Amino acid sequence: MNQEEKVSKKSIALKNLTKIFKGISGEKEVIAVDNVSLKVEPGELLTLLGPSGCGKTTVLRMIAGLEIPTSGEIYLENKMINNLPANKRDTAMVFQSYGLFPHMTVAENIAYGWRYRELKKAEIKKKVNDIIKLIGLEGLGNRAPGNLSGGQQQRVALARALVIEPSVLLCDEPLSNLDAKLRIQMRSEIRRLQRRLSITTIYVTHDQTEAMSLSDRIVIMNHGRIDQIGTPFEIYNYPRTKFVADFIGSINFIEGKVEKVSDSTVTVNIFNTEFDILYKEAKMELGAEVLVIARPETIKICPKAEAHFSGVISHVTYLGPIVEYEIDMEEGIKITVVDYNPRRKKIYQEEDKIGVKLSLAHLYLLPKTSS
């Protein structure tokens, strides 16, 4: 694979994909994946995100051919691949554990995928050297994996998947074994390589920050189903369910009641104060109870004369670039506020009485019954 060469881009489509694990010794069956349909565009990096047990890894394993669907169809481009063995699917997978052979060198580990394919040794050597250069491991080809750092071992695992030039790259929480700083470095490296090669990639993680920083689109999964599909911006700013809003980042839920509805705004009563909130989604009914979603960074601590509400700071967490405040509101609820660049501002202390101002342009509404 030359550095400037791009792999063949192909789409992946799932149609009504379901996986049921049968119960053992009288236990109930488990519906791990429940009627999932989606399409991954050629060259796209799509992330399956959700809590443990939501079905994201099972979806990935079915695409890879490591699990057999109970029902539904998997398509690579326009070809159904349900019955193809894993080694015939034109996909490659990077796992949580690096899975490197300790008795082989870095170069031998990377070349392993070509072992049973009809390719001359000189061609394999060239491909391995190209990919070693691409991932920044020049000079380490003759080392044993045990002599590499965790980040270097993960690069070798990634190179082993990429060197066989798959149409689709599958990543199952590949950074979970790395420390926090190295994870940030490696996710940037994966995104750089994915864009450079323009390879269709499906990435599984439970880490919201990882998903937000890597993805073209994110699929939020919950109890085996898809709750929402969208860009990181859409998922963060326009969640369709309470679960999605709560799972991505920090959130404040404030209860309100719809007093008036127009074409572009909804007037909501919050603690006996009316607010006109921009809203163009599903129609809200008069009198409906709603959840007003306010991200912590969109709420301002201010003098009481400028405030919508009043409260008392109950907890302060200093994190360097930001300060996170927990505030007990006079109306009986607790909210979180994030203040950026605190060196330029006053850092409030616990028990300080403060005013709170909502940014109306950044509020979002959900029906109170939204799951």
pLDDT, one tens digit per residue, over 163-208 is: 888 999 999 998 888 888 888 888 888 898 899 889 999 999 999 9
Q: Please state, in angstroms and rounded to a whole number, the distance separating the CA atoms of residues 165 and 91.
A: 9
Helix (H, G, I), strand (E, B) or coil at 102: coil
Q: Are strands 273-278 and 334-340 parallel, antiparallel or unpaired?
A: unpaired
Between 297 and 370, name the one with better pLDDT: 297
- Over residues 231-257, mean pLDDT: 94
The sheet with strand 364-367 has its strands ordered as 273-278, 265-270, 252-261, 289-294, 364-367
Does the pLDDT of residue 7 top 60, yes or no? no
Give percent above pLDDT 90 in the chain: 61
Q: Which pLDDT value is given to residue 2?
A: 47
Q: Mean pLDDT across the chain, nearest whole number?
A: 90
Give the residue ranges of DSSP H helices in the chain: 56-64, 106-111, 121-134, 150-162, 180-197, 208-214, 232-237, 242-247
Give the CATH architecture of domain 12-243: 3-Layer(aba) Sandwich (3.40)
pLDDT tens for each residue of 46-84: 999 999 999 999 999 999 999 999 999 999 998 999 999
pLDDT tens for each residue of 318-340: 998 999 999 999 888 999 999 98
Bridge partners of 252, per DSSP, are: 294
Does the pLDDT of residue 13 top 90, yes or no? yes
Q: What is the DSSP letter of 57?
A: H
Encoding tokens for residue 79?
């070809």
Q: Which pLDDT value is given to residue 25?
A: 66
Confidence bin at 118 (pLDDT 50/70/90):
low
The sheet with strand 322-329 has its strands ordered as 299-302, 353-358, 309-318, 322-329, 334-340
**Which pTM does this prediction carry?**
0.89
Instruction: Please count the other Cβ atoms lying within 10 Å of the Cβ belonging to residue 85.
Output: 8
**Where in the chain are the domains?**
12-243, 250-367
Q: Which pLDDT value is given to residue 8?
A: 61
Q: Looking at the domain that runs over 250-367, which CATH code has it been given?
A: 2.40.50.100
- Give the closest residue to 339 by CA, choosing from 294, 290, 299, 291: 299
